[in-house]
Structure 1
Amino acid sequence: EMVAGPPATEPGRLITDPSSGRTYFKGRLLGKGGFARCYEATDTETGNAYAVKVISQSRITKPHQREKILNEIELHRGLQHRHIVRFSHHFEDADNIYIFLELCSRKSLAHIWKARHTLLEPEVRYYLRQILSGLKYLHQRGILHRDLKLGNFFITENMELKMGDFGLATRLEPPEHRKKTICGTPNYVAPEVLQRQGHGPEA
């Protein structure tokens, strides 16, 4: 009797780029969201470590869902800033879409908050400066993140903050075309977003 191998979302499986043949060892689960799971991944040839976002093809049932993922990739790959998670590369196979990102091994501010339930004032100042630096860069390029929360502020091995998860991000339009979509994470959403007044960077 044949036994099927583990599904692609289980740790310990090799991921192969169909076009280049490069292989990556998929390690521990870093986190999971609505559509995706994020794992540590290591290039088997170079030893370079990444965070890989794995999106199951079976979850992408409608054209607009694929468009949303491609929009996230297109927007994120063009960003280069010290306090924004670095986009490396992406590919897909029959089962999944794989997005390779800078590895932030200390997880996120949400994990720090959950463990300690407090941040000291110097820490808050330290992280806020980095958040504002990243936001200024985005807004100068007409990009709205639209899901700023502790869980999307990732922390590197040397305790540097990197803003990530551009799944809800969009490019800013002129005021008459201001975004009226309600999106974001409950409890973090600005009033003008909930009231559909149209919103810009301030939200």
Structure 2
Amino acid sequence: MVPRSAGAEPPPAWYLRDWDSGALYKRGRLLGEGTFGRCYQVTEVTSGRLYAAKLIPRARLATAAIGDRVERERELQRHLRHRHIVRLHGHFTDRGHLCLLLELCSRGPLSLCPQSLADILRARGRLTEPEVRYYLRQLLSGLRYLHGHGLVHRDLKLSNFLVTERMRVKIGDLGLARRAAPPGRRWGYTALTGHAPFEARHRPELYRRIRGARYPLPPQLSPRARALIAHMLDPEPAARPSLAGVLGHPFLTQGFTPQALPPRACHSVPIFVGQEPLRRILRGLRCWRGCGCVPVTPGGGRAPPQST
């Protein structure tokens, strides 16, 4: 869910109670608003644990489409346990709301990170190819887990990819997921270029561009990135790669992928020197000067001693 105006609906009470367990939760800041309702940061009063609470008014649950979608999300997500899937910790009813207690990915104002990849892209414009590989590997891991459980997400978009304080990405919002569905949407374009591949003012023109695979490619993309995009946006669905095919593509297997990203990458381009994060090189220099480690040249030999 993406932050936006709260609308006419009044906010829930400052405290929410799970009458079955007796747990009391204090409502915090608004994280966002979506089709179901609002999402707030909440704190369990006794333990101090933080959660993201998705609050759905009972009146909205009476609508068949929303009620079925919420029930499907709750039923599917409570069985899922994966490091790249947002975890559902529980649910309860408080006054006029159904509350879904979800894993909190971002801590808010004190965190340097926005809430989702969509937020990062709005702040940055586009991502570097090493960053895309970093996030894509994690997302593919989560998707393989879902597919292994017979689930297809069906709503893959940057706003549903939440980023933790440790710069790990997690897939959220399973309200449109289905069991035993055929393989469907392939994705991976927008983060590299900063915009959707197919855009047009009128729908007929949009459809013509999709059928003809007519989309712009910025000049800075590498040949491997261009090849992967062309493969994923092939007009013939059967020609598009599977998850295994994406994982085995040269864009992911032959390019540099960082082991971690600094939180400042949410707002500015990270610095990589010689395909290594700058902080790792500096750490190595501190180790050499401080503990007597012997540096080596790029060819593998020992570097000449340095005067101090």
Q: Which range, TM-score by smaller chain?
A: 0.7 to 0.9
Q: Is the 8 A contact 2:58 2:97 kept in 1?
A: yes
Gaps of 5+ in 1: 1-6, 180-186
Separation in 1 of the partners of 2:63 and 2:197? Answer: 28
The CA RMSD over aligned residues, in Å, is 2.8
Q: Specify the code of the residue in structure 2 equivalent to 1:35.
A: F
- In structure 2, the residue matched to 1:74 is 75
Partner of 2:54: 53
Task: Please point out which of 176, 180, 193 is paired with 1:168.
Answer: 176
Which of 152, 155, 158 is 2:160 aligned to? 152
Matched letter for residue 109 of structure 1:
L
CA apart distance, 1:61: 2.3
CA distance in 1, matches of 2:65, 2:167: 37
Among residues 120, 124, 130, which one is paired with 1:116 in the alignment?
Answer: 124
Closer, same or farther: CA 41–103 of 1 in aligned 2, 3 Å:
same
Inter-partner Cα distance in structure 2 for 1:64 and 1:38 = 19
In structure 1, C-alpha distance between the alignment counterparts of 2:16 and 2:242, rounded to whole Å: 40
Does structure 1 residue 143 correspond to structure 2 residue 151? yes
Bigger radius of gyration: 2
Give the structure with the larger helix fraction.
2
Structure holding more strand per residue: 1
TM-score by length of 2: 0.53
Percent identity at matched positions?
Answer: 48
Confirm or deny: 8 A CA contact 1:109 1:153 kept in the other structure: yes
Deviations 1:6-37 (Å, cap 9, x if unpaired)? Answer: x8735x71111121221111111111101221
Between the aligned partners of 1:98 and 1:28, the Cα distance in structure 2 is 15
Distance 2:139 2:116 in 1: 13
Q: CA deviation at 1:71?
A: 1.5
Stretch moving more, 151-160 or 93-102: 93-102
Shift of 1:63: 4.4
Cα offsets for 1:99-138 (capped at 9, x unmatched): 0011010410011011111211111110000010001111
Residues 170 and 188 (structure 1), Cα distance of their counterparts in 2 relative to 1, 3 Å cut: farther
Cross-structure match for 2:205: none
Q: Distance in 1 between matches of 2:96 and 2:197?
A: 33
Please give the alpha-carbon distance, in whole angstroms, between the structure 2 residues aligned to 1:88 and 1:34: 21
* Structure ranking higher on relative contact order (CA contacts 8 Å, 6+ apart): 1
Cα distance, 1:64 vs structure 2: 5.0
On the 8 A contact 1:113/1:119 being kept in 2, the answer is yes
